[in-house]
Amino acid sequence: MLFSSIVFLYFFLPFVLFLYFIVPTKGKNFVLFSVSVLFYAWGEPVYVLLMLAQIVAAFVLTGGVERFRDSKAGRVFYILSVFLPFAALFYFKYYVFFMENLFRMQPKALPLPIGISFYTFQIVSYCVDVYHKRVDRQKNLITFAAYVTLFPQLVAGPIVRYSEIAQTLTQKVHCHEVYSRLEKGIVRFVVGLGKKVLIANVVGEFVIEVAALDHRTVALSWAYAIAVALQIYFDFSGYSDMAIGLGGMFGFEFPENFRYPFISESVSEFWRRWHITLGSWFRDYVYIPMGGNRVRMTRWIFNILVVWLFTGLWHGAGWNFIVWGLLFAGLLVFEKGLGKLWKKVQSTNNLQDNKFIRFMWKTVKHCYVACVIIISFLVFHNGQLQEAWADIQSLVGQGKHITETMRSSDMAVCVYLLRNRIGILCVGLIGSLPALTWLWTAIGQRLEKSKVGDIIICVVQPVCVIGLLVLCTAYLIDGSFNPFLYFRF
């Protein structure tokens, strides 16, 4: 079941909210668990048993960890608690890929359980944190199951750690705080819905239209590459906003997953802004345990390669994801070396106080990151590396998509598509920057200083939210194109 569907918006969600708020506090976790299982079973009636089995296994094994903590048995329980979720993930997501590429065998492909990468990482993080005494083990199976199956973030993140929502799961939240989070959650959800339905879906239609062409112009190739990046961003960040908003409706505070990544000045900054919960998970549970950056240079490079190989594979079992991950690993190593060189040049030539040099350097970095994003997501988007390479070549007027003599009919189609979709691309580019948020916040702060301003805010915000919800509903009723890219992860 998609968040951006009529069934979810007008049937499932209102029913769940009503049920959640009328039951006593002691029964809320059971309600969350029950409706989350129903939500998952809507699309995965068979694999819900796999998820439930993993929940029970993790609950039992962490109980063994707690009971035999200072013995070898406790360590065995801990190893099993981490190994079993990863074993299931490997079997369903990577087994066929490795068998085909390592042993040239072609086993029968298995359907990928929805959201398995997300809930596997949540289970593993909980088991590791219990073993290292970062969190207290949850002794109530229903409460633990509610954490793992929590439907707002079950199938597409953000990756929520137990420590981040343990208080809400186990303690009563004051009424005024619940209603405050509910209000903010509704606004956040509708904004995310708008990003997904009105921008990501429309840009996605343009991506499909251009991909279907045999030939294209250089201008259309650049528009296509930008559209691919925008579709991926608004699709996933919109869904993350909806998940965070839904969490707020039920009293939870989920971590942020995106912070305007397209304004980054470096690849490392980009990954501090893009899919934040995934990056922090790999940092805390893989990178730092391997030594992080407090090791010699060769070992640090090895650590980076391993982390980004895993990051690529997390997104999917395909060579394009592996190349995509290793590309970022190479760029991070390159940036570290270039950063040291630039600091040396600055200190040698006293360039630190030269405003023009700093402005030009900042501009160059923004352009560099923009090119990296565009090229990397062409690799990410294409299942075949040959197709990704053809798309990249077309950006410089080369490759199979570019011909020296294009027929007038083909040229007319390219011009029509570009002219027809340039508006939504501009909207996407503007929406991916923090300017609108800054403007809205500044106006809100100014209006809050007066009683009239407070009244205006109380009227304008609900009107905008309702209007946006109506627009999204009209689009969902009228259109049939409503995919979600991250369901395959």
Retrieve residue 87's tokens. 């074993």
Count of beta carbons in the 10 Å neighbourhood of residue 372: 17
Look up 315 and say whether it is catalytic.
yes
Between the alpha carbon of residue 6 and those of residues 1, 470, 483, the distances in Å are 10, 12, 14
| Cα 2 from Cα 40, distance rounded (Å) | 10
For 409, residues 6+ apart whose C-beta sits below 8 A from its C-beta are none
| Cα 209 from Cα 194, distance rounded (Å) | 22
Residue 270's nearest CA partner among 362, 338, 369, 340 is 369
Between the alpha carbon of residue 323 and those of residues 145, 167, 279, 303, 367, the distances in Å are 36, 40, 18, 17, 22
| Cα 364 from Cα 245, distance rounded (Å) | 36
| Cα 105 from Cα 93, distance rounded (Å) | 16
| Cα 274 from Cα 236, distance rounded (Å) | 10
Work out the angle at residue 134's Cα, subtended by the Cα atoms of residues 129 and 138, and round it to the nearest 5 degrees: 70
Choice among 275, 315, 381, 401 that is catalytic: 315
Between the alpha carbon of residue 159 and those of residues 72, 92, 94, 328, the distances in Å are 30, 20, 20, 21
Backbone angles phi, psi at 473, to 5 degrees: -65, -45
Work out the angle at residue 193's Cα, subtended by the Cα atoms of residues 187 and 197, and round it to the nearest 5 degrees: 150
| Cα 344 from Cα 461, distance rounded (Å) | 51
CA torsion sign, 183 to 39 to 473 to 23?
negative
Catalytic residues: 315
